[in-house]
Structure 1
Amino acid sequence: MKQRAKNLAGITIGTLLATSVITFSMISSASDNMSDETQQTTNAAKNVILLIGDGMAESQISAAAYLNGAGYGAEDLTMDQFKNVGYARTFSHDNTVTDSAAAATAFSSTHKTDNGVVGKAPKNKEHHQNEQHFDVQTVLEAAEESNMSTGLVSTARITHATPAAFASHIDDRNKENNIAEQMLLDHDVDVLLGGGKRQFIPEEAGGKRKDGKNLLELAEDHGYQLIENKADMKKTVASKLLGLFNDSHMTYELDRNLTNEPSIDEMTNKALDVLQQDDDGFFLMVEGGRIDHAGHSNYPATNIQETLAFDKAVKEALDFAKKDKNTLVIVSSDHETGGMSIGANGEYGYNKEVIRNVKRSPEYISKQLDKNDANLEEVIKKYTGITNLTKKELELITSSQNKASAIANIISERALIGWTTTGHTAVNVPVYAYGPQAEKLTGTIDNTEIAEVINFTTSKSFTSQNLIEQVKQFSENGEMTDEKATRLLFTHLETVRQFEDQNKADKVVKQLEHFHILIDKQKERNSLSNKAYQTLKDGTDALIAKWE
């Protein structure tokens, strides 16, 4: 057990939403056909593992599954084996097309925010110019308050937008030096594994910090063991790890065997080995960050191989959960990147062998070309298996300022993989879940609801005081209109708090059941909003479950 304290200027998850989850529409089969995995559960999990395939949607997953399949068919990925499946809408506070910062903040805090902002929410319900933001508690911070161990793993820089949204509060995702400092010094994350060493060291040491600070030295003072390669990660027995395996993002999976970097599944396995030692449970976020980068660059084989590597991390998590039997696993994405399609240019098909023959990323391949491209055909043959470049393809590469992009374009054209953009898209992304509360993440949901479900486990410190603060908030913002009934709610909750202080569980439960009846009556009279009713109902249910 670890004692941690958190002080935030903003709103805590518990204060705003309670520790429960909103009930949303679900896809279900007949009860006699339901497996244990799809049965509804009321208890919180001991542990939560959230895996985010950055830039991954159905096209990326399908392309990977088809690549593994024989003939025209597909072979199930681990992701395809989940029974609780839904889809999440990803829009941000200020754009239909989100970025990773806003989407990860939705995952981490239940709040929609503006693109580029991490760990903060806007003060205005509708987007305004010069929007002001306030700090919001994340599920990782709630886990720390509940004495749970925590971990962040990414194949991108560990200070990149997605991991940053769980352990920092920054108005601009590009302030990665500030994110590194907050992540390391303002939190007590037990496991940090990824790239981004440059954000932790000063310029004179080859880093990006202009303030002269060497956060690696400070990390040692905070009990971290620094590891920088796969071998050291494997052999360490330390209980607090800072693994920085690349100055920037970690190497693409296609090129990783040229380095000493661990794979995403190896990092996931190591994180689980460390975190599972905590009897209070743990929260772990794992990001396949380079799926997104390959999508931005329209690198087809690279994108698919990153997705397959991510799926191996999903397997590590799911295998752990099945053995542990008290772990919630959630797999999703912040958004889709690239507008990827299987089948392109009006042609039906997927030439999988083209993808299978690619041995390195376009970035690596382009760097093997000599000054005048004299070895072009030799290099392309060696790393892509293409032996019959057309005159048009040769000219495309030799005339291009971005030879990696030209090579990727040829691979896409031959494989019949299409792209509509080098940016993000607004399509819904899949949500896969296993374990306690998993059935709450089926159907079409908002991405903030993922945080609500996680919060059911991580906000174990929720009490009647949080309900009191919620009633106060809803009363002040006009979502509760009956002043007399609101005073009665306050009185009732004060009684609950007294019984909590006396540790009288049966009386706490009885009073909460009465409180439930009171809010039901207010709902019938239309004297409180749907949001207020649902939030108070969920909080009451969570407290009842806690005291029972």
Structure 2
Amino acid sequence: MLPLFAAANLDIHDAPSRPKNMIIMVGDGMGPAYTSAYRYYQNNPDTEEIEQTVFDRLLVGMASTYPARQSGFVTDSAASATALATGVKSYNGAISVDVNKRPLTTIMQMAKERGMATGVAVTSQVNHATPAAFLVHNESRRNYDEIAKSYLDSDADVILGGGQKYFSSSLLEQFKSKGYQHIDDFSQLSSITQGKALGLFAEVQLPWVIDKQDSTQLSLLTQKALDLLSQNDKGFVLLVEGSLIDWAGHNNDIATAMGEMHGFANAIEVVEQFVRANPDTLMVVTADHNTGGLSIGANGEYAWDTQLLQGIKASPASIAEQAIAIDSWQALVNDKLGFEVTDTELQRLSNARMQGKQALEASLKQLVDTRSFTGWTTTGHTGGDVQVFAAGPAADLFKGNQDNTDIAEKMMSLLPRTK
């Protein structure tokens, strides 16, 4: 049963225009500090003005994110994605099932019932919590193999992201028998021009933007999804997730997080251009929760050094892995960080290096945080509200303060009526 629409006694179907297509974009873990940090990270230091980003341009409101009360006030990605996909609160770990583990109707299911196309494009494995909650049902987000197999019954038209390890050759054959075209390299995207697509481009996650020095991965997947789904005359519903913003936040890795923010921002601009060319399309962008308790400025200093962050050429994880493998590691660290490490800092790194890759990575992140005045409060999630961004027909419905379930209810109410 469709949840009641929660805002202002408004009958959506009397609105002057309703979308044919809907795109929900989730910056996983992207609390408000991330969009502020990205603004300063992208700022041109040679101008007096601090330039706006796509986030500033599209901001319309805020949303609360708490899960079902049995899980407290701090949500995980599964419960939040369930809320965004179904309009119902559930427990942390739930994949579109209620607190009694009964399946909940998702917006993707509703779209399919109306003859619309559906798809997901993400930077994590495609069977991770957020895409899974839009496509299937499971009592636990950790049941990755079960979730991958259940995608066969989702009838999603486009599934793009990582996760090769969860799709055996026999499972891939089953997808092919259902009409899916399977690809595993970005160079093959152009080979698919119509029909169903299953693109798995990495063993688990896609490469970090900062390591690949390429912020177009999610943009390319998003554009391909739009090209394929828009061929359906009845419209489509698409989920796009900047999944790895969250992973970088869990790692308390500011340089890598900014790279992932850049990749997500580029994907939003791809969708924004699609909306301009197709004014019957609604885009809604939000975060599922905040990760890491990021602070811009730390240790009592009224500063944040974006120039230092912009000079970093690789993730601390990658730098540590390379530095462990060679004897002349000091020069490599200086080159990859983009600044000269002091003798005292070098000694700390050397001590950490003797303890192994994980210790060296942690020491590198601490060095970057100290030098850039970046702060963190946790390696987990926090319970603060997140931002909501929107454009296209009915975008005004998402203005102001709302709950994440309201976002789902509004979008579901905008679907065509069933006969």
What TM-score range do you get, normalising by the shorter chain? over 0.9
Q: Do the aligned residues in 2 keep the contact of 1:200 with 1:215 (CA within 8 Å)?
A: yes
1:391 — aligned with what? Answer: 344
What is the match of residue 264 of structure 1? 218
User: Could you tell me whether the CA contact under 8 Å between 1:377 and 1:389 is conserved in 2?
Assistant: no
Instruction: State the partner residue of 1:162.
Output: 130
What's the offset of the Cα at 1:394? 3.0
- The aligned runs of 1:111-510 (5 Å cut-off) are 111-122=88-99, 132-183=100-151, 185-201=152-168, 214-257=170-213, 263-370=217-324, 374-396=327-349, 398-399=351-352, 400-401=355-356, 402=358, 403-458=360-415, 460-461=417-418
Question: Would you say the 8 A contact 2:157–2:196 is kept in 1?
Answer: yes
Q: In the alignment, what sits opposite 1:478?
A: none
How many angstroms apart in 2 are the aligned matches of 1:397 and 1:340? 27
* Other-structure match for 2:43: 69
Q: Distance in 1 between matches of 2:180 and 2:370?
A: 47
The alignment covers a number of residue pairs equal to 408
Give per-residue Cα distances to partners, 1:242-270, cap 9 Å, x unaligned.
00000111111112259xx9600111011
**Cα drift, residue 24 of structure 1:** 4.8
Structure-2 separation of matches of 1:100 and 1:283: 20
Radius of gyration: which is bigger?
Answer: 1
Give the direction of change, closer, same or farther, for the CA distance of 1:385–1:216 in structure 2 (3 Å limit).
same
1:324-349 deviation per Cα after TM superposition (whole angstroms, max 9, x unaligned): 11111000000010100111111001
Q: CA separation of 1:69/1:257 partners in 2, compared to 1, >3 Å: closer, same or farther? A: closer
Verify the 8 A CA contact 2:345 2:367 in the aligned structure 1.
no
Q: Which moved more, 1:185-194 or 1:40-49?
A: 40-49
What is the CA-CA distance between 1:41 and the residue it aligns to? Answer: 4.2
SS in 2 for 1:277: coil
Secondary structure at the counterpart of residue 122 of structure 2? strand
2:2 — aligned with what?
A: 16
**SS where residue 198 of structure 2 aligns?**
strand
Equivalent residue for 2:72, pick from 86, 89, 95:
95
Q: Deviation per CA, 1:471-522: give whole Å up to 9, x if none.
A: xxxxxxxxxxxxxxxxxxxxxxxxxxxxxxxxxxxxxxxxxxxxxxxxxxxx
CA distance in structure 2 between the aligned counterparts of 1:219 and 1:430, rounded to whole angstroms? 37
Change over 3 Å in CA distance of 1:393–1:421 after alignment to 2: farther
Measured after TM superposition, the shift of residue 52 of structure 1 is: 0.2
Unmatched 5+ stretches in structure 1: 1-14, 27-39, 123-131, 203-213, 464-548
TM-score computed with the length of structure 1 as normaliser: 0.72
TM-aligned CA distance change 1:100 to 1:162, over 3 Å: same
Deviation string for 1:88-134 (max 9, x for gaps)?
10000122010000000000000000001111012xxxxxxxxx221
Cα distance in structure 1, aligned partners of 2:124 and 2:230: 24
Q: Is the 8 A contact 2:37 2:296 kept in 1?
A: yes
CA distance in 1, matches of 2:343, 2:195: 56
Aligned partners of 1:299 and 1:405 also within 8 Å: no
CA distance in 2, matches of 1:61, 1:249: 22
1:109 partner letter: T
Residue type of the partner of 2:335? K
Unmatched segments (≥5 aa) in structure 2: none
CA distance in 2, matches of 1:333, 1:397: 38
Amino acid at match of 1:334: D
Q: Secondary structure at the match of 1:431?
A: strand
- State the Cα distance separating 1:299 from its structure 2 match: 0.7
1:238 Cα deviation (Å)? 3.4
CA distance in 1, matches of 2:254, 2:248: 7
DSSP 3-state at the match of 2:2: helix
Distance 1:321 1:226, change over 3 A: same
TM-score normalised by length of structure 2: 0.93
SS in structure 2 of the partner of residue 182 of structure 1: helix
| Preserved CA contact (<8 Å) 2:216 2:263 | no
Match of 1:46 in 2: 20
SS of equivalent residue, structure 1 residue 17: coil
- Deviation of 1:374 after TM superposition, in Å, equals 3.6
Determine the C-alpha separation between the residues in 2 that align with 1:344 and 1:41: 47
**SS state at 2:62 partner:** strand
CA contact (8 A) 1:294 1:303 kept: yes
User: Percent identity, aligned pairs only?
Assistant: 35
After superposition, give the CA deviation of every residue in 1:51-90 in whole Å (9 maximum; x if it has no partner): 00001011111111111112385322112112x5111100
